[in-house]
Each structure stands twice: as C-alpha cells, then as structure tokens.
Structure 1
C-alpha cells in the first residue's frame, strides 16, 4: 500500500509548524549564547505547544555553530514565532549571526507516525490494498486492451502498472483509508 503511514494517520495529525534558529558566534560570544540557549530549551520543554525539540552544537574553526529546531502546534502567538524573540536577543552582538526559518506541516507533509500513533494491523492494511488494487487492475487490463493489444507484453504491463500505481497512490488508497478509518483503527 503506497505511503500508507502518512495517509492512514491524516485525521489524527494536528497541524504543526517547524521553526529553526541557527546561530554562528566567535569563541568570545559562544559561552553566553550557550547559556541563553540552555535557558530557552528549559522554557520550550515546559511549553505545551512545543511537540519536539532538536539541538546541536558544532565547532568550526574559531566559530561555534548552534542549531535549535522546534515543532510547534498551532499558529504563532501575537504574530511572532517562539524563536524570533530569542534570535533578536542573541543577535544583538556584532559577532553573532542568527537565522530563523519556519515551515507549516499539515497532514499531507507530516512525518511518518511515531510510536505513539496507532498503525492498523498488517492484515487490515493488506485488505485495503487488495480492495484498491484488484478491481482497478481488472478494469485497467480490460479497458486498455484495445490500446495495448499490438504492444509487447512487458510494455503493456508497464503501462497498466504505471496507471494502477498512480490511481492507487493518489485516489483509491486515500479514499479507502478515509472511509474505512473506523474499521482500520478498531
């Protein structure tokens, strides 16, 4: 079943945003930035809107690079992202470069389900796949017979497989997952 992990979890995935802060500082500024980031990490861990935190620190020559990324549920409060204020505070020095980036993650482009998210049993996913594939396969084989009759068998099978996988991935499997969701997650 193509990409069933994200399709099956569509209804349960909340909309979230990913925001990240990158900081490059010289050796003199790095200890102060490290302590500021440590305090900010403690605040972000206590914030219920923050669903995930990634932090890294690297030394590149005389420059320290810090990277902080957050996955935040809901929209930005008062028009600012959680890292924008932190970036302004850290970026006040002339020896510090800061960059803040963000993107929205909805159910369509969300990460695969984590262990906390429920995945249907294999036999249920297989059943949904068969319900999607078999009727479509029969329809395509018989429907395309006039077009593929004079072609070599491998080429005609390739055309059927190409159309079948496209139909399944885009239309059939998501449709069946939405309509059979109660049964799938029972």
Structure 2
C-alpha cells in the first residue's frame, strides 16, 4: 500500500513540477513622479523563446509572451487616475534575471503609445532610450515624469506546493519506519 502511495506522490510531484513552466506572475511599482502619484501593476508571462526576456509587442508578429497585464496610475493634480489592461499594451519587455525593469535595452513598458486620446504610460530604455518613465494625457500632451526604475517582484509559489512536499516527506519517513519494524 505504501509503495502505491509513494508512486502516486512521485507522479503528482512530477506533474506539479511540470506546471512551473507555466506563466509566472509579477507585480510592479514605479514612484517618484513629479507632483506625486505612483504606478502599480501586474503581468503574467512566459519566456517562450528562452532568450531571458518576457516580451510582447504590437510591432512584431509572434512576439507574444505576455498573457495578462494591468497597470494603474494613482493620479495627482496634473493627471487623473486611470487603469489599463492587456488591450492597451503596445510594448513590453522584462529581463527575467533582474528585479527592476527599464534600465537596459530593450526593456520597457508602453501603453497606448500612439493613441490620440486616453492616457499613456511609457518607461524604460526600450521605449524612451533612457530610464525615465512618464504618465501622460494623449489628448492634451500634458505629462508627469520620474527617473525612478520600475521595481518588479515575482508572486510567491502557492503554499499548496510546499504542503505537497511535506506530505511526500511524511510518506518517505513512514516507509522507513515500516522497513525497520
């Protein structure tokens, strides 16, 4: 019976480890804008071509490693608060080896880049050719700027995976105990 449970646990472990190739979830923030205000957001993506970047753009067909994207501007006295989603994303590039976004080419985020109305969020070397970011109103041309980098943090693995590891360790110790009895 224990042997069957151990096989089941190992198979489940292999299945769960295969799921790690799925899209990773990241949260990001950017502060330091003129007049206050901050950017918060999240994205989900997978480095499908294994180049070390999670990228997505409307400029290059087939470059679609972003599954989900949201960004929110808290607002200040110059630019009203707004939120945007994946449908507003024009360009995105993140180096998976770091916890900041925008300090090297081609990194950056651009939403509503060529829009004639609505709001824009642009930041990073891949967008502005320098590390600054800005939030703007496309219709009026008014914008606020920051030189703060975008801080990125991966969302931790769910606790169920750690629980599974504990159960597997328990089965292994149970098997050892029965072997010695």
Q: Do Structure 1 and Structure 2 share a fold, with TM-score over 0.5? A: no
Higher strand share: 2
- Which structure has more relative contact order (CA 8 Å, sep 6+)? It is 1
Q: TM-score, normalization: structure 1?
A: 0.31
Q: TM-score, normalization: structure 2?
A: 0.32
